[in-house]
Amino acid sequence: MNYLEKYNIWVENPYFDEETRLELMAIKNDEKEIEERFYRELEFGTGGLRGIIGAGTNRMNKYVVRKASQGLSNFILKRNISSPSIAIAYDSRHRSAEFAVESARVFARNGIKSYLFDGLRPTPELSFVVRHLNCSAGVVITASHNPKEYNGYKVYGKDGGQLPLSLSEVVMEEVNKIRDITSIKVMDFNAAKEAGLIEMIGQEIDDEYIESLKTLSVLKIDQEVLDKCRIIYTPIHGAGNIPVRRILKETGFNNIYVVPEQELPDPDFSTVKYPNPEEKAAFVLAISMAKDMDVDLIIGTDPDCDRVGVVVKNRNGEYVTLTGNQTGCLLMEYILQGLKRQGKLPPNGFVVKTIVTTELARKIADFYNVKLVEVLTGFKFIGEQILHRDEQGNEKFIFGFEESYGYLAGTFVRDKDAVVASMLIAEMYAWYKSRNLTLYDGIMELYDKYGYEKEGLDSFTLDGREGVEKIQNAMNRLRDEQPSMFGNIAVKAIRDYEKKIRIDIENGTAEPMELPKSNVLYYETKEGFWFCIRPSGTEPKIKIYYGVSGASPVMSEEALNNLKKQVLSKIRPLLS
């Protein structure tokens, strides 16, 4: 069936509501737009769905959400689980509440009970409640830090982590088996509630979540010091406003100032171009407020409150954003040294980072004699390590992070958690203040102690069908050619995670790798640097990560600039 035939079905079939029909009729003379909306099904990937909101098979709408929910229902029912249940949460985006309700109605029609939050909640709280209520699975409606036009549908397993590859592929198969979207039935919402198939949850779970996270505090800081700590916080119009402010208040921080223009939920994210705490632009209002109030720490969380960004004042009084690598290494150092100081550092402890996360983390782990586990990009793989090594094994998870501003301490949650991270960042800030130092001073201490590691990231967005094809073609070219040079940068070895092999360029030998299969190419240079190329799993982007080290900040900066220049001289032509 071609895209025009699919379009006509959506326009003519009474299964689709009048709002959908009118939206599609408005583009009846725009064949390119019709093709873009219907040339494929919105792909249910390893983490679920993510796409632009709108009518069509290649868009996020209640019908595509119903299809995903029916596929998940089929997956659960085939596993013969006694009294199956699914927890559902959602953030502040357009249609999030509607998509959450539609999901619950599908689950109810299949005899699966839903625990549905009574308002927006952070994604990590969804992970928590899956474990707390012993659910069979979890769903959160969010597109994380994507632009306002997007929404998404993430699936979690019974351990509270994102589904592992082995199970997500089975769910994908169940979703893809559904050929006729109009065959999916839903149950009336009120009838489902009366039948006990939908149960609303809220305050009681919030209390359990916050109390659990508070036990992860590392050091007891004197209240006199805490009262000197002044922090500006922005939820960037998302789900973090209530839980982050609450946990900071309950751990002794009485001087928290919220950016008023960004305090309340706003699906248009009207004060920012992108609601992404990785971008300094998201902190313009917060920095202005900090300057007026002479505050030297800003914390910001993304719409579903799983990522957190940090802005600090440097020694020149300028406000600078910390990278995800810097914040992660600060937290790792603070947690490990704090536990060691108290004699609480477990002998079987481990920390986790992704392959594109700074090598500085390895140096910190080595210093404290703690095992470092490296995983593929994506926090789901960190969550898997907790399940296999801690819950099912005899090791103790301490901390995990990725360069894209995701951090996790403890095992109550199995995904990145900006609520516990905000608590620990504030506590760490107070600890440095007790030593008359700032978090910027802390970064300098790290570099002086371990060396001047520096990382970078370039990303290229190529929208539409043609963009996706260009990205894949570029990856195919690089994989087939196995280049030994990128400009004047000599490659020592290539790790091809798609083929699961490491290729030594000099002698041409290949050795197997244990990590799961993934469309990623990682290059080790003869200078001891690295860069990694991968398509984004959630956006039409290709990303290039870089890592260098040097004897001084200037030398690291020069090495990074040259590495980026040489790599891009080869990559840009492949994307044109």
Amino acid 463: pLDDT: 81
Domain match, 490 and 437 both: no
pLDDT 10s digits, 314-357: 999 999 999 999 999 999 999 999 999 999 999 999 999 999 99
By the 8 A CB rule, do 411 and 385 touch?
no
Which residues neighbour 465 within 8 Å (Cβ) at sequence distance 6 or greater?
Answer: 35, 36, 39, 40
pLDDT, tens digit, 9 for 90 and up, residues 217-252: 999 999 999 999 999 999 999 999 999 999 999 999
**Angstrom distances, CA of residue 435 to CA of 86, 253, 547:** 47, 18, 31
Shared domain for 235 and 339, answered yes or no, is: yes
CATH of the domain at 433: 3.40.120.10
For residues 188 and 78, membership in a common domain is answered with yes
**Does a structural domain hold residue 311?**
yes
Which residue from 247, 310, 250 is spatially nearest to 442, judged by alpha carbons? 310
Boundary of a domain, candidates 417, 448, 479: 448
Closest by Cα among 258, 30, 40, 266 to 148? 266
Can you tell me the distance from the alpha carbon of 109 to that of 66, in angstroms, rounded to the nearest whole number?
11
Residue 516 to residue 385: CA distance in whole angstroms? 13
Using 50 as the pLDDT threshold, list the residues of the chain that sit under it: none
Statement to judge: residues 84 and 126 lie in one domain: yes
Q: Is the dihedral of CA 334, 335, 337, 339 positive or negative?
A: positive
State both tokens at 479: 């994989």
Asked if residue 11 is part of any domain, the answer here is no
Tokens of 266: 């706003």
In whole angstroms, give the CA distance from residue 219 to residue 224: 14
Tell which of 386, 415, 448 closes a domain: 448
Domain range for residue 563?
452-575
Of the candidates 102, 152, 100, 144, the residue with the CA atom closest to the CA atom of residue 123: 144
Instruction: Identify the pLDDT of residue 538.
Output: 64
- Residue 468 is predicted with a pLDDT of 86
- What is the C-alpha to C-alpha distance for residues 264 and 244, in angstroms, rounded to an integer? 13
Of the candidates 448, 474, 489, which is a domain's last residue?
448
The CATH number given to whatever domain includes residue 521 is: 3.30.310.50
The arrangement of strands across the sheet holding 349-354 comes to 371-375, 349-354, 396-402, 406-409
Alpha helices in 215-323 (DSSP H): 223-226, 241-250, 284-293
Instruction: Examine the domain organization and report whether 441 and 466 are in the same domain.
Output: no
Q: How far apart are CA 182 and CA 274, in angstroms?
A: 35
Rounded Cα distance, 91 and 570, in Å: 40
Residues 179 and 104 in one domain: yes
Give me the active site residues, please. 144
* The one-letter amino acid at 476: N
- Residues 438-471 have pLDDT tens digits of 999 999 999 999 999 999 999 999 887 788 889 9
Classify residue 204 by burial, with Cβ atoms within 10 Å: 0-12, 13-18, 19+: exposed
* In a shared domain, residues 461 and 438: no
387 with 533, same domain: the answer is no
Count helices and strands (H / E) in the chain.
Answer: 19, 23
Quick check: is 21 in a domain? Answer: no
Are residues 519 and 534 in contact, defined by beta-carbon separation less than 8 angstroms?
Answer: yes
Instruction: Please report, for residues 342, 344, 377, the alpha-carbon distance to residue 219 in angstroms, rounded to integers and kept in the order given.
Output: 9, 11, 30
The verdict on residue 10 lying in a domain is no
Two structure tokens written together for 176: 């893809």
Q: Does 333 share its domain with 428?
A: yes
The answer on 375 and 359 residing in a single domain is yes
**Residue 58 maps to a domain:** yes
Query: Same domain for 119 and 66?
Result: yes
Q: Give the chain's domain count.
A: 3
**Does residue 8 form part of some domain?**
no
From 127, 190, 185, 195, select the one nearest 161 (Cα to Cα): 127
Give 94-98's long-range contacts (Cβ < 8 A, gap of 24+). 94/53, 94/148, 94/151, 94/267, 94/268, 95/53, 95/60, 95/61, 95/62, 95/151, 96/120, 96/141, 96/142, 96/151, 96/267, 97/141, 98/62
Q: Specify the pLDDT at position 387.
A: 96
In a domain, 18, yes or no: no
Residue type, 461: T
Nearest to 265 by CA among 293, 241, 230: 241
Where residue 111 falls (left for φ over 0; alpha for ψ -120 to 50; beta otherwise) is left
Judgement on whether residues 257 and 190 belong to the same structural domain of the protein: no
> Is 350 within a domain?
yes
Q: In what order do the strands lie in the sheet with 256-258?
A: 256-258, 231-234, 297-301, 308-313, 319-321
HSE-CB at 141 with a 13 A cutoff on CA atoms is 32
